[in-house]
Amino acid sequence: MAEREIHDHWSREAKRKRYRSRAAFKLKQIDDRRGVLKKGDQVLDLGCAPGSWLQVIAERIGPKGRGWGIDLQPVSGGLPENVTALEGNAEDPEGAGVPAEMQFDVLLSDMMPSTTGSRDTDHFRSLAVCELALDLCPRWLKPGGVLVMKLLEGSAMPQLLATTRERFERVKPFKPEASRKESTEIFVIAHGYKPPPDDPHDDAPSTAGGPPPVPEGW
């Protein structure tokens, strides 16, 4: 572990509170400020490794809620009983093992492609992942549901916000205190999902054209 990480306040807090990474505090702060998780919610966490968001989800939704996480990387056991981590591709939740009949109150995406060091390149790669999350909404998110997705700030951010506002009643960007100050990451938080009228929520969307390609490494 890098020296900076060892002495990082949020990393120390994660270790003290037995969270798997400092990212747990990002979701806690998002929920505290924007109210995305409720008791009894059904939640899908895209890009869930190493499992810290699933730990927070389990706390916030309570024993009557249920959380599912998907990641290309395996997530070690020991998670709370009301959450499940699946190894698979977030483009295909059902193929990863999410029951076909599921629809979710909340869809979370902390996914991020491997960075290149080029701010513009990394921004557009993160944008493609956000577009994937949006494309999953008609199939997996309940009407009125909540979407949270991570983006690296850049020139296309206003367009992404505009597109998201067409599909949700309220959309706001938010940077948690637990994000590194030098990081350009920001979370787009959208409440009140409005399914498209020509694409019933309980039917799988057309696969014509498919979702945008997602860079490897998220």
Task: Examine the pLDDT at 137 and tell me if it is beyond 90.
Answer: yes
pLDDT of residue 216 exceeding 50, the answer is: no
Q: What is the mean pLDDT of the chain?
A: 88
Instruction: Answer yes or no: are the C-beta atoms of 142 and 106 closer than 8 Å.
Output: no
- Taken in order 214, 150, 122, 87, the sign of the CA dihedral is negative
Residue closest to 190 by CA, chosen among 152, 126, 139, 133: 133
pTM for the full predicted model = 0.85
188, 165 contact by CB (below 8 A):
no
pLDDT over threshold 90, residue 99: yes
Give the active site residue among 142, 150, 172, 194.
150
Of 20-24, 65-69, 117-121, the range with the lowest mean pLDDT is 117-121
Sign of CA dihedral 47, 143, 31, 97: negative
Q: How confident is the model at residue 112, as a pLDDT?
A: 80
Please state, in angstroms and rounded to a whole number, the distance separating the CA atoms of residues 43 and 54.
9
CA dist., res. 218 & res. 69, Å (int): 14
Concerning whether 150 is annotated as a catalytic residue, the answer is: yes
Domains present along the chain, CATH in parentheses? 24-193 (3.40.50.150)
Residue 73 scores a pLDDT above 70: yes
Which pLDDT score, from 0 to 100, does residue 43 have?
98
